[in-house]
Amino acid sequence: MSLRERILIVLLVMLCCYAGVEFFVLKQVIAPELEKQEQQQARENLRRCTDAIGRQLTGLQKELLSLSRSGQLYSKIRSTSTGLIDSTKSKLDLDFLAIYNNRWEPINNKTDRVKFEAVEKIFFAPEHSIIKKNIPGYSGKAMVRQQNRILLVISAPITRSSLSRTVEGTVVAGQFLTTARLEAIRDQLQLNFNWDFIDPHQLVGQNKEIVQRVSTAEPFDLIPVGEEFLQASAVLYDYQKQPILLIKTFQDRTLSQQSLHVMQMALYGKITVGAVAVLLLIWLLQRVVIHPIIRLIKHIGNIDHPGKRKTAPLLSRKDEIGTLANEFSKMCQRLQNAQVKLMEKSYLSGVTEMSSGILHNVRNALSPITTRIERIKGEFKAVPLENLEQAQSELQHGSLDSARRKDLIRFVDLTFQDVLMNLNEMVSGLDDLSDQVFQIEDMLNIQRTFGREDKPVEFIEPAELLNKALEMVPESVRNECRISIDSKIKKLATIPVETTTFVQILQNLLINAAESLETEEPLYRKIHISAAIETVEARHLLHWQIQDNGGGIAEEKLQQIFERGASSKQKGLTGIGLHWCANTLTAMKGRIWAESQGLHCGAVFHILIPMAPEEKLVETAVETIECT
């Protein structure tokens, strides 16, 4: 991924994060707050409506109390005139008015009596009476359902004067809450609300659902009506706590919706401006930073072998990038001089390199010898010598019963059998150690004559070469790693190679793979070995591949690991092995290279070796075969 793409991704991520935060605030903070304010306003409007009806009832009660305590109604108790009652009804806008003495006998004319009979039964109903006859001069107020109408009922005690405390009777008055009176309240409040006179036994549809949702804890019911209105409902109850009036207001939501729409448009505008700013910033970075860096990178890529002329980047800038380009040009010149000196000295290090290669190969060959010796030592340490000496002493000097003597003899026999078995294994192991020592001696002889004499070429099967290399790999490595071998190797024909040298190359690569697995410690340590015949430029070559899932190799080190002093390992080794392998394979008309997807991704080492020798080597090999 280029620098420009990285910067673009970072800027776009920042823009998306900003847009996400803005959108979250709009949807999760501002929109709920606007909705909360709409609901609060709807509740306030409903509260004003219910308070207005309550004030209607309270106002009637105050006016009637003032009249009954002034002494004006006292004269009515002793008179039959209807003028005062009619004037009081007209003044207070009452639908009926009745006066009772202390014995609760009505004092009305016939006309008033006829009008009052319809509601009198409700006042003095034995099960739910509004007016308490056992209380002289009972004062109270209530809302009563009378057929399909709502009646506001008030009562007050009658006294002779405002200073008198003696109750002479009771006045009961009422006013129907008609549609006209509710419309007057609506005009007075200047609120848009509707009402329904409801019967608790005949509730259906939406009104029933509203009444069921309204409670003392939540006296208001709020329902959105589309996106333009919010319906708020409240219920008024009579003196028996039965619903009798349903009030509905409609809160206009247009302003809130328009506010949200304006905020969304502003957010889209900000995102658009941000996108344009990102593109402009990318263009400026391209011109001011990225383009000069690309020119500098191209200049770096022109570094090649010593002697090739380098052209300095044409950067006449005075900023940090210009300074970096100039300093890099100076560094390139110093690097050229260093490369020339390094190549002059590299050819003088042959003797030292040869010695290091010998030591490296000897170390690899000594590893299985050391392992075998440790195993033999462990087997002999496991022999119970002290128990054997004790058993021998008891058999020679002790007076033992037959069972004990029989057990000791059996123990001695078994122990000697184990010792004999260990001795046989030790003899076999010493034979193997002798063969490996001879291999080391052959190796040293070949290394000593390397570069002075042609090495013997033998025709040998690839499977046999691989088996010889695996035998020289330490047993601990073979036990800890799962080494899989392609079955096609057994079917390959013989190839002409310097057997000992090529076995050392395979062994070195296998040990390197095992050490990489030990460092990386994957869940399953695997080494896969395969070989196949390939044709390159009319030459038949055997292509070996040794693959592991170990620590891998960084891309910039894939070529360096075959140089002198470099290593594919993390620490502790000189890096002579791979350099020696590369030089040896070059002398054998082959080559070696490595592939890896990067660190922690494993690696594959490739070896190309000719299937047929050069003309001189063929003649030598034929003579060798004829002699055998």
Segments forming the whole domain that contains residue 339? 307-348
What is the number of other CB atoms lying within 10 angstroms of the CB of residue 341? 10
Looking at per-residue confidence, does 136 or 553 come out higher? Answer: 553
**Which of these ranges, 191-205, 229-243, 397-411, has the smallest mean pLDDT?**
397-411
Q: 135 and 166 share a domain?
A: yes
Q: 420 and 564 share a domain?
A: no
Domain boundary among 399, 426, 449: 449
Q: 391 and 320 share a domain?
A: no
Ramachandran sector of residue 490 (left: φ over 0; alpha: ψ -120 to 50; beta: rest): alpha
- pLDDT tens, residue by residue, 131-178: 776 776 677 888 888 777 888 888 888 888 878 788 888 888 888 888
199 pLDDT more than 90: no
Reading the block at residue 207, the tokens are: 């009104």
304 pLDDT more than 60: no
Q: 589 and 613 share a domain?
A: yes
| Contact residues for 278 (Cβ-Cβ < 8 A; gap 6+) | 8, 11, 12, 15
The SS3 call for residue 309 is coil
Q: 29 and 168 share a domain?
A: yes
Mean pLDDT of 282-301: 77
245 pLDDT more than 50: yes
Q: 117 and 138 share a domain?
A: yes
529 pLDDT more than 90: yes
CA-closest candidate to residue 294, choices 598, 4, 593 = 4
Encoded amino acid at 533, one letter: I
- pLDDT tens, residue by residue, 98-134: 888 777 777 764 444 445 565 666 666 666 667 776 7
pLDDT confidence tier of residue 543, bands split at 50, 70 and 90: very high
Q: Per residue in 291-300, is it b (16+ CB within 10 Å) or e — as a string?
A: ebeeebeebe
Count structural domains, the chain: 4
Report whether 253 contacts 260 (CB < 8 A): no
Report whether 466 contacts 507 (CB < 8 A): no
Domain boundary among 396, 425, 449: 449
- pLDDT tens, residue by residue, 63-87: 888 888 887 777 766 665 567 777 7
Q: 71 and 202 share a domain?
A: yes
Q: 34 and 74 share a domain?
A: yes
Report whether 579 contacts 353 (CB < 8 A): yes
Cα dist from 11 to 23, 269, 290, 470, whole Å: 18, 17, 15, 55
- CATH of residue 591's domain is 3.30.565.10
Q: CB-based burial of residue 95 (10 Å sphere; 0-12 exposed, 13-18 middle, 19+ buried)?
A: middle
Residue with tokens 């109903």: 125
- pLDDT tens, residue by residue, 482-499: 889 998 898 888 888 888
Q: 483 and 618 share a domain?
A: yes
Separation between Cα atoms, residue 430 and residue 548, nearest integer Å: 32
CA-closest candidate to residue 177, choices 46, 47, 42, 52 = 52
Q: 326 and 371 share a domain?
A: no
Mean pLDDT of 358-382: 72
Domain boundary among 449, 474, 491: 449
Task: Give the sheet arrangement for strand 603-610, strand by strand.
Answer: 482-485, 526-536, 539-548, 603-610, 591-595
pLDDT confidence tier of residue 431, bands split at 50, 70 and 90: confident
Q: 515 and 371 share a domain?
A: no
Cα dist from 180 to 183, 187, 567, whole Å: 5, 11, 103
- What average pLDDT does the structure give for the chain? 78
Q: 52 and 92 share a domain?
A: yes
Reading the block at residue 170, the tokens are: 């009771």
Reading the block at residue 271, the tokens are: 């995102």
| Contact residues for 402 (Cβ-Cβ < 8 A; gap 6+) | none
pLDDT confidence tier of residue 309, bands split at 50, 70 and 90: very low
